[in-house]
Amino acid sequence: MVRCKIHLVLGLFLCLIDCKPSFFRTYGQEDPSLLVWDGVRALSEPESKCAGNPEKEIGRIAYHYKKNPARYSDLPVSERWRNLQFTILLDKENLLNDSRDSLFFFQGGDCRISSTFLKKGEKLKSPENILLSFSTALLSANGERALSSGKLEILLGSESVFSGYLEGNGNSWEDHKVTLEIPAARLLFENPKPQWTFRWLPKDGNSFLFLGEPLLFSKVADSDAWGSPENLILIVVDALRPDRLGFGGSPVPTSPVLDRLSSESVIFENAFANGNWTKPSMLSFFTSQIASELGMGNAWFYSTNLHRKIFYSKRPKTLPNHLRDAGFVTASLMNNVFLLDYTGVGVDLGFHRLFQPGKDKVDTELILAESKKFLRENKDRRFFLHININTPHYPYLPERKYLEALEKATPKEVWAKYDPYVKKYMAEILYTDHVIGEILEEARRNGVYEKTWIAVVADHGELQEIEHYYHHHFVAENLHAHGESHYEEEIKVPWILHPPKRFESSVRKRKFEGQVSLLSLFPTLVGAMEFPCVPNECKGNDYSRAMYGKTGPTFEESVYTEGRFSESIRTESFKLIRRYPGYDSVRRTGEGEPHKMPEELYDLVKDPHETRNLALENGPLLEKARKALSGNSLKKNSFILKLPAPEQNCVRKMELYVEGGIYKFDTDVPSTTLSLGQKNISIRLDQAAGKQAILKVETVEPTFRFKLSLWKDGVMESYKSGKWGFTEKAANQVYLFAPEIVASSRVPYEFTNSKVPYLYNDAGLSGNSDSAEQAALGKEVRKVLESWGYIHE
């Protein structure tokens, strides 16, 4: 009997040591009210039906440009405006925008929406305290600020849930919270459950309703089926260098709050961004894929319709969508246009709500206030909150008290070493640290801190060393900037991951010394939270396995980073920086003489500060680095030119202009590059008798316009091109109006056996795949074009 008790106690002890955190799931804490139904996403369920023509009705309020069709509701094109990301300018002076994932209602546009839960087949705990929340905003076809009004009715089956008269003129959101009466709530326990009915009865046909974030919250019968109850707060600080923080080695006390947090956290000591400015970096860590490989490009702020079309066609899994599908309320509070689709700059990542103050200086205070409000209102719910703090970003404009505090706390000889701009930058960090402290204190005050994962990262660093003031100057004509070089100070970032109380004892590895990248942020966060990525869905590593003492990766052998018309590969021992053709002219300081520097190579072991460029000195290391970069190169659209085998040795010359710009090129025969620019290449190829030649030119942007000229032994020769093999004369007419016809994801019909040169674009990035039916139709189209004289040898 005694032996049995010993075995039982020993077994429990071992389980306490080694069992998964979920063993303690409900011990000492009450389950939160979970998001069980997302009305916007339920719109795509087969039983959901809506009336009217949203495409026609949305056109009547064209004056309100701050809107875009939602990208994740999987609705047919004709219904795409039924769900939209709708944005209201709350404060013109501070450029304060409030965007919500919404349903669009108009006269005769009622909807019956499935009540299927996010976790299909799961049950609720009780019909008591089931809450429906939503927000409303109104617009009128009579013009901006015209009053709009009407009655909104919401029913579950035949039971009324909400009935109210609304009015507004598009200048604010009104939030609604409705606790379901027991008769209505009991309907959610039926099988099948009745549908929700949303009925808008406008005062006249010119009044439109936008119903944001229709969500249902309840406690659930089987909490294990819904996953861990902990929240996630992701704080991203723009342009924050880790070496300017106390825990990162700074002798200036800029970060007392983050220093304390880091002492209780998992630390990634050598973390690097996959983009050296905000757009490519942030999109990569929210998707765990390199931004350019999703079509978004790395060069400029704008995103064209083609960029966004490619991005959405790739259907990347995003961090907010991943957690939203699992039943998290998601919100982003930020001064960041790259997360707003309608701006023409960014894309929709799937947040329920985005709060964006656009005016510098006041933005951080507005975000701080909204963060506190969010934590108070959602303390009893499971959420993912993204907070983007822009403060350390140039121009550095700290309040004097933060500068004075740092000067007072820093030895004079240390303080004197820094230039005035760096001092201001560090004062901005001290202010940012104070703001983060207020957010964490609010979390503690509301009981959120101990049940929340808290991650702090930066999207990139900041160039500040004079020896590295050595770049192309696309945007910033000063030393203190980012986006144009790939030195450590610009791509190395802090990464702190603080576990909630329930997981503290499960963390076995608290320090990761090897290099990692933010491509691994998404999979590591959701892995730690016990909502891991589906295999192959996330490209980065999940470091949570090693964090929990299990077998898993602890570092990345190489880190790829993209920048404006540039890229780099970093290993533990070397870094290679490459500039795109035509963008390889740099100058030392703003007044320096321009000169060519297409590559930079640094031995990170012997030269950790990257002061000696070995690109012209160390051939073997350069070849090794080039091979490493080639293995990580971006997937791009490529123009592929086949030159048929000549009967005898010949010399061919090619001049090619590509509108999309040249990323890189390659050929399989001896060649001499005569000239190479941003969009033009001239090349001579020595072609042996009986041997065909292939030239591949990859483009920066996924556009298709081109101009090609070919000579064989000094005599100009014609060529065929595109999906159907247009003759050069026909191509000049057709491509003027439809340049995309040069693209084909399949090898064109006559490409392999053509007796004349043949050019096509493989649409490797943008995609241009044919179904079996389209391929069959293509053969028929080809016969028609032959009969018209467009296709002939």
Distance, CA of 413 to CA of 325 (rounded, Å): 54
Which residue, among 292, 393, 286, 283, has the nearest Cα to 346 in the 3D structure? Answer: 283
Segments of the chain with pLDDT less than 50: 1-28, 770-778, 780-782, 784-786, 788-793
Lookup: tokens for 493: 């970032």
Could you tell me if residue 3 is inside a domain?
no
**CA 4 to each of CA 10, 13, 17: distance values in angstroms, whole numbers, following the listed order:** 10, 14, 20
Could you tell me if residue 772 is inside a domain?
yes
Q: In what order do the strands lie in the sheet with 671-676?
A: 671-676, 680-687, 650-658, 706-712, 715-717
Q: For residues 306 and 455, state if they share a domain.
A: yes
pLDDT score of 530: 97
**CA 379 to each of CA 327, 373, 557: distance values in angstroms, whole numbers, following the listed order:** 15, 10, 40
pLDDT score of 298: 81
- DSSP code of 768? -
Q: For residues 444 and 586, state if they share a domain.
A: no
Please report, for the domain that includes residue 317, its CATH number: 3.40.720.10
The amino acid present at 765, given as its one-letter code, is L
Lookup: tokens for 753: 């056996």
Of 577, 600, 630, the domain-final residue: 630
Region of 264 please: left (phi>0), alpha (psi -120 to 50) or beta: alpha
Q: For residues 414 and 550, state if they share a domain.
A: yes
Could you tell me if residue 428 is inside a domain?
yes
Q: For residues 280 and 345, state if they share a domain.
A: yes
pLDDT score of 70: 84
DSSP codes, 139-171: EETT-TT--EEEEEEEEETTEEEEEEEEEE-SS
Q: For residues 301 and 406, state if they share a domain.
A: yes
Which residue, among 509, 152, 212, has the nearest Cα to 354 in the 3D structure? Answer: 212
> Could you report the per-residue pLDDT of 313-342, keeping only the tens digit for each?
999 999 999 999 999 999 999 998 888 888
Which residue, among 326, 371, 370, has the nearest Cα to 234 in the 3D structure? Answer: 371
Domain that includes residue 709, residue range: 638-788
**CA 328 to each of CA 37, 112, 179: distance values in angstroms, whole numbers, following the listed order:** 10, 24, 19
Could you tell me if residue 9 is inside a domain?
no
Q: For residues 295 and 273, state if they share a domain.
A: yes
pLDDT score of 35: 97
Which residue, among 98, 516, 130, has the nearest Cα to 288 in the 3D structure? Answer: 516
Could you tell me if residue 6 is inside a domain?
no
**Beta-carbon contacts of residue 121 (< 8 Å; ≥ 6 apart):** none
Q: Do 437 and 443 touch, CB atoms closer than 8 A?
A: no
Of 516, 531, 556, the domain-final residue: 556
Reduced to 3 states, what is the DSSP secondary structure of residue 308?
Answer: helix
Of 172, 197, 226, the domain-final residue: 226
pLDDT score of 466: 84
Q: For residues 282 and 309, state if they share a domain.
A: yes
Which residue, among 770, 774, 740, has the nearest Cα to 637 in the 3D structure? Answer: 740
The total number of structural domains in the chain stands at 4
State the pTM of this model: 0.92
Q: In what order do the strands lie in the sheet with 595-596?
A: 470-471, 585-588, 595-596
Please report, for the domain that includes residue 622, its CATH number: 3.30.1120.10
Q: For residues 63 and 113, state if they share a domain.
A: yes
Distance, CA of 587 to CA of 54 (rounded, Å): 54
Could you tell me if residue 307 is inside a domain?
yes
Q: Do 113 and 198 touch, CB atoms closer than 8 A?
A: yes
DSSP codes, 169-188: -SS--EEEEEEPPHHHHHGG
C-alpha dihedral over 409, 411, 417, 423, to 10 degrees? 10
User: What residues does 268 pair with on adjacent strands?
Assistant: 512
Angle at 379 (CA atoms; ends 375, 385), nearest 5 degrees: 45
Q: Do 313 and 294 touch, CB atoms closer than 8 A?
A: no
- DSSP code of 307? H
pLDDT score of 302: 76
Distance, CA of 723 to CA of 514 (rounded, Å): 47
With b meaning 16 or more CB within 10 Å and e meaning fewer, what string describes 593-629?
A: eeeebbbbbbebeeeeebeebbbeeeeebbebbbebb
Q: For residues 503 and 520, state if they share a domain.
A: yes
Distance, CA of 681 to CA of 65 (rounded, Å): 41
**Beta-carbon contacts of residue 406 (< 8 Å; ≥ 6 apart):** 252, 253, 254, 415, 423, 426, 427, 430
Side-chain-side CA neighbours of 302 within 13 Å: the count stands at: 4
Prior bond of 183 cis (ω within 30°): no
pLDDT score of 299: 77
Could you tell me if residue 2 is inside a domain?
no
pLDDT score of 20: 45
Could you tell me if residue 549 is inside a domain?
yes
Angle at 137 (CA atoms; ends 134, 139), nearest 5 degrees: 150
Lookup: tokens for 550: 């299990």
Q: For residues 477 and 436, state if they share a domain.
A: yes
- DSSP code of 687? E
Q: Do 318 and 325 touch, CB atoms closer than 8 A?
A: no
Distance, CA of 781 to CA of 734 (rounded, Å): 14
Q: For residues 220 and 235, state if they share a domain.
A: no
> Could you report the per-residue pLDDT of 38-71, keeping only the tens digit for each?
999 999 999 999 999 999 999 999 999 999 998 8
- DSSP code of 674? E
User: What residues does 683 pair with on adjacent strands?
Assistant: 654, 673
Q: For residues 374 and 463, state if they share a domain.
A: yes
Please report, for the domain that includes residue 151, its CATH number: 2.60.120
